[in-house]
Structures are given as C-alpha cells and as structure tokens.
Amino acid sequence: MWNRCSTSNETDNISVQSKVLSDSQCKRLHNAVLEVLERTGAEVYCEEAVELLKKAGCWTDGLRVRIPSHLVERAISTAPSRVVLADRNGERRLFLEGNNTYFGPGPTNPYFYDLETGERRDVLKSDVCGVAKLTEALPNMDFAMSLACISDCTPGLADVHEVHAMLQNTTKPIVTWAYDVNNLATIISMCEAVAGGQEELQQNPFIVVYAEPTSPLRHSKEAVEILLYMSEKGLPQMYTPGVQGCATAPASMAGVLVIAAADNLAGLVINQLKREGAPYIAGAVTTNMDMKTMIHCYGSSPEFSLMHAALTDFIHYLKLPTWSTAGCSDSKVLDEQTAIEYSLSIYSAALSGANLVHDCGFLETGISGSLESLVMADEIIGMVRNIVKGVQVDDESLAVDIIDKVGPGGNFLTEDHTFKNFKKEFWIPRDIDRDIYRKWSTKGKTTYGERLRARAKQMLQESQPEKLSDDVLQELRGLVDKAEENKA
C-alpha cells in the first residue's frame, strides 16, 4: 500500500477562513475606541450602573460617564474567552470559541408570511411554535430565535410568550430578548424550571438574552438593567448595538466600527463590574442608511457583510466570543434578490468565523419573517459549510492506490472508495434542483420557491419535538399567568 510520512499540517483539514482587518488595524481601532470611551464617554441611564462605574474610577457628570482605558482593558481580560451553550436537556452543544460558527433565526419581526396563503400578516404565537419546530428539524439551524414579535397576546408580554412557545417546541439553545427586567425574571424562571434549578441552568445554559444600547453612546435604563440582571445570574448575554453609517455613526465603515465597539465595550465594563467573569458575547448589527430611501440596509448592502466580518476580526482580536448577522434580506418577498443576499451574507459570516450568527429568515429589512426563507437559509448554510470545511489531504483522500487500480481510461463509479466517501466529500442538495429538464418537467416544473414552501409544510407536519413533562409545562403556564396578572 502506498504511504508516506506526513506532518500534522499536511493531514489536518484546515477550515477556509478570511480576514478583513489585520492585527495592526485591529490595534488602531481598539485605541480609537479607548479614546472615545475616555474622552467622549457615554450616557448611562441606570443609577446602579453609574454608581458601579463611579466607584471603579470612572469620571461622572450626571448621566455622562467617561471610562478610563484601564477599566476597559481589565473588563476584556476578565471576561471569558469562550462560552458554551447547552440544549434544553443540558447537553453541551455550541462552543463559542475560535472560529466555530453557528447559525439561527432572528427576532422581533412584526409581520409574517403565511405558509398557506402566502399573505403578509401580523405575527401569531402559533407562528413562533412553527419557527421553533422548523428550527428543531433543520440540520443547519443550530439555535432558536422567534423570528417574530407576537401580536395575539398582551402587548407588554410578547417576549415572555415567545420563550414560552420556543421552550415547548425545540430542544436547541434559545436566544431571545426581554422588554424589561421584570419580563426577564419571568423568562429566566421558566428556563430554570426546565433546567431543574438555578445552578443547573448556570452550569449548562441553554438561554442567551440580548439587550441593545441606543447608538451612539447611550445606554437606556431598560437595557442596562437587563445587562446587570444577567451578569448577576452568571448567564450568557449579548449587548448588541444596531449602528447605521450616515445616521447613528459616521459616514465611514471604520467610524461605524468605532461606535459599535464603543457601545459594546461600555456594556462589557458594566457587565464585569457587576460580576467578574460573567459570560459575554460581543457584536453588533453594523450597516448603513440608504440616503435615498432612509432605509436601514440589510442584505442589499455589501458593506453590511464587510463591516460584520471586520467587527468579527476585532472581537477575535480581543479574544471574546462573537455575535453576527446573516441570512437576511431587504427584499419584500422570497425571490432572486433574497437568494443573492442570503448567500453572500451567510458565506461572509462563515468565512469570518463569527460564533453566533442570527437573523436567518428575515425579509423586508427585518420587518417580516418567513418559514420558506428559513428553509432556504438552512440549505445555503449547508452549501457554505461544505466550502469552508476545506479540503482533507491524507492517504485516504489522495486515493493513490485506487487511481493505480482503475488506471488510464477507467471510471471510479463502482469502486468501494466512491461508495464510502461520496456523501461526506460532496454536498448533496435538498431542494436545489439538479435534474435534467425532462425529469424536472415530469415533476411539475416547480420553482425553488414552490419546493421550499412544500418542504416547510412537510417538516412542520413531521416535526415531533421532545415534550416537556406535565409538571414542567404546568410550572411554565403558572409563570406566564403570573406575569399576565402583574401586567393587568
């Protein structure tokens, strides 16, 4: 048998990655952020956070807080460089470290495309159940989000109802938002009920909560209270600004990155002052405002993907877990534009090595959600993952002995090596069509969109998420009912 000595570098399967920023550019960006936080500072609307910052040595003037560079550096050094998320059963699944990349849906859409009628309508709680079931069934959706903002419930409790729906319909890790700290307390209580207690959830967290500062350089009372609550609980959180060049940030990509990083690192300082070592996932939604339409650009902006990749480089430079965005579109319906925008953003996110990548299934600049779009995003992720996995080079894959056996003019179709390797080496599409015209025609000449809708319906019918126990279901229902009483 043919063989040769090999080093680990020659046999390892090296993942394909790319970088936008060099280390020297990251250092310069970091110094700019430190200067902004120290010279300009930020407005913090939470009294407890202001007191924490003042006690730590920040300069305070009412709501304005200026943060010395050494506090930012200390917060970066004490925050964990990795965060591990478990599933609902406590099995550790997502390792947010290095260039490991995981994808999931997004949140907050007020509208939804009905799977039966195709019509755009208000979101229902049943839609969140459907998103969770589909997320459970889709192989490339690694975590769940609601893809929605529910309309058929008490308006101030839509966040609680979203988590209630997701907990019952998926075992995958959940990322969610909270309107305020009271709702957050209910959400965490529900997750503790499922996990079996506070300590069990802390050891193997399956919930990540995100809050949003108000760029540029403002931190609302609600957002900071959520940040402090999650810090105290020792549970993973994100503090993720949405930053628009030309509007809430300068008209330059580097300027957008400075605002995004400054807002994020101010949150990290508060997070670590409250509880040193609390898990924190850094990132932002970075884009630009279209100066003709005043629209917050998503997939149709090439800078959207470029800035997300650059911010990922910067967060990797700081050795923190990363949060990013892909699989979203400015198109109003699932069409060719959607496919282009999903593909480019997902490919860019995977190449960048961002850890948690959300917003798959977004249409209309994050205003509408679609199950068919979620199915399409899942297939694109599968294709992209087969690119970024790289090329395995070892004795088995080089196949020198098989080549010698088949010889000139032969074929490899019936070789055992082919049957052993073709599925793992070469990606096989699920809904993308590879049939010849005649076969495609006999199958009904379906478009990709039609096949996606059929696949979504099939998966919803077949998905059988693992059920929670009756005792846990009753406890969840009780927590939701109590939240409803408190809102009344």
Token reading at 191? 């997750």
Q: What is the pLDDT of residue 323?
A: 97
Q: Tens of pLDDT along 164-190?
A: 999 999 999 999 999 999 999 999 999
Q: Tens of pLDDT along 123-143?
A: 999 999 999 999 999 999 999
The helix/strand/coil state of 207 is strand
pLDDT band, residue 20 (cuts 50/70/90):
very high
Q: Tens of pLDDT along 192-231?
A: 999 999 999 999 999 999 999 999 999 999 999 999 999 9
- Per the rule left: phi > 0, alpha: psi between -120 and 50, beta: everything else, 322 is beta
Q: What is the pLDDT of residue 136?
A: 98
Q: What is the pLDDT of residue 298?
A: 87
- Between 7 and 107, the higher pLDDT residue: 107
**For residue 307, which of 289, 321, 286, 329 has the smallest C-alpha distance?**
286
pLDDT band, residue 294 (cuts 50/70/90):
confident
- Provide the residue ranges of all domains of the chain, joining segments of one domain with +: 76-388, 395-425
Give the burial class of 471: count Cβ atoms within 10 A of its Cβ; 0-12 exposed, 13-18 middle, 19 or more buried.
Answer: exposed
Q: What is the pLDDT of residue 488?
A: 80
Please state which CATH class domain 76-388 belongs to.
alpha beta
- 69 near 34, Cβ under 8 Å? yes
Q: Tens of pLDDT along 348-382?
A: 999 999 999 999 999 999 999 999 999 999 999 99
Q: What is the pLDDT of residue 9?
A: 39
Average pLDDT, whole number, for the chain? 95
Q: What is the pLDDT of residue 296?
A: 83
Share of the chain above pLDDT 70, in %: 97
Q: What is the pLDDT of residue 12?
A: 53
pTM: 0.95
pLDDT mean over 49-60: 98
pLDDT mean over 384-400: 94
Given a cut of 60, whether residue 11 has pLDDT beyond it is no
Q: What is the pLDDT of residue 71?
A: 98
